[in-house]
Amino acid sequence: MNVEITRLASGLTVVTETMPHLESVALGVWIKSGSRNETDDEHGIAHLLEHMAFKGTARRSARDIAEEIENVGGELNAATSTETTSYYARVLRDNVPLAVDILADILTESAFDEEELRREKHVILQEIGAANDTPDDVVFDKFSEVAYRGQTLGRPILGTPDTVKGFTPGQIRNYLSRNYTTDRMFVVAAGAVDHATFVKQVEERFASLPMTPSAPPVLEAARYIGGDVRETRDLMDAQVLLGFEGKAYHMRDFYCSQILANILGGGMSSRLFQEVRERRGLCYSVYAFHWGFSDTGIFGIHAATGGNELPTLVPVIIDELRKSSETIDQQEIDRARAQIRAQLLMGQESPAARAGQIARQMMLYGRPIPNPEMMERLEGITTERLTDLAGRLFFDTVPTLSAVGPIEQLAPLNDITTALATPGIQTKKAAG
């Protein structure tokens, strides 16, 4: 792993991985701040800021930003999550100075023009509307809301129409000054990049970033609560998400949870896919996942099916969860490890994937994690650890159930909870 790290006097961290066989470079700025860092009156502002960064600076209009990067065949984009925000570009090696200049410009000199803000609010309102019209988006948003009720972690990243409409340039600048500081920012590049040259370019263009926040960043501790949320809609398919509190990135069982999710529903050979879709034909989509955050996590099973299949589908899923707490084959662990290893190695062939992976590891662990070290962590996972984890995840915690669509036949949460806790108990159809 040809990774070099330099921490500038300003506190900004610069990381590169040279991939000499390439002609392109993926580079970006990752900020250890997202929707969880919003105050109560800032719901949605992290995402709005990400949009507004591209809407003009002291030197460039929004059109100038788009044209300059595309004039050289490059790409520019950004993303907001619950705990991070990223701004990134992909260019040919000769155009790295331009990409650095544009990224620095939008992050240090954004104008936050009133008219641009008005237009962008309208765009985000359309984005919120589109998300509300997409049942598989709605089921995940509602799941988070009830799993982490009344907390920033449980709020939709996009915000609400009311909060988005009310934001001012001053509020955006306040969030920016509080969270976009050098101690929380990482500039990463992967591909045809020279470390020393890149460090010099970053140091010159990002010199105006503040070193310390105007006020301490907000991050309330997560409290998993769990519960039930349902929305009946006249749809062809029912979206159902059953989940439990998972493991944070730094917890011992984090990688074990990733393996368990892969075994249960990580591919066509997984238990849920084979039993639910292939053998029984109960749904067209079923998978398991594990999301880690800094202080909590979510282990979930998502299924999309017809409403009439729900009385049969849910008991089958519960039965597969129970089986995972009783028996897991070594072959299943080996297959899951092989899939993760392949993903890691394939990611090394993409400069964009490598830049993103390095940035996430720097934010989470303070250093890049070599692939051999990652695989070594996975090698220590045994069948006994997995069955023990499954028992604790699925049967010792309060579940969260989110459902959208024709869900009249979905069993009550109490029945599902009882079935999870009591072998042999079947869930029954909801009354009415």
- Catalytic center residues: 50
* Residue 320: C-alpha distances to residues 42, 316, 326, 328 (Å): 41, 6, 10, 11
Residue whose tokens read 């949460």: 413
> What does the chain come to in residues?
432
Strands (DSSP E) found in 253-292: 285-292
Helices (runs of H) and strands (runs of E) counted in the chain: 16, 11
Alpha-carbon 30 to chain mean position: 13
Contacts of residue 71, defined as CB under 8 A and 6 or more positions apart, other chains included, come to none
Q: Where are the alpha helices (DSSP H) in 149-247?
A: 161-166, 169-179, 195-205
Return the SS3 of 45: helix
Q: Which of 372, 253, 238, 388 is nearest to 313 (CA)?
A: 238
Contact 400, 33 (CB under 8 A): no
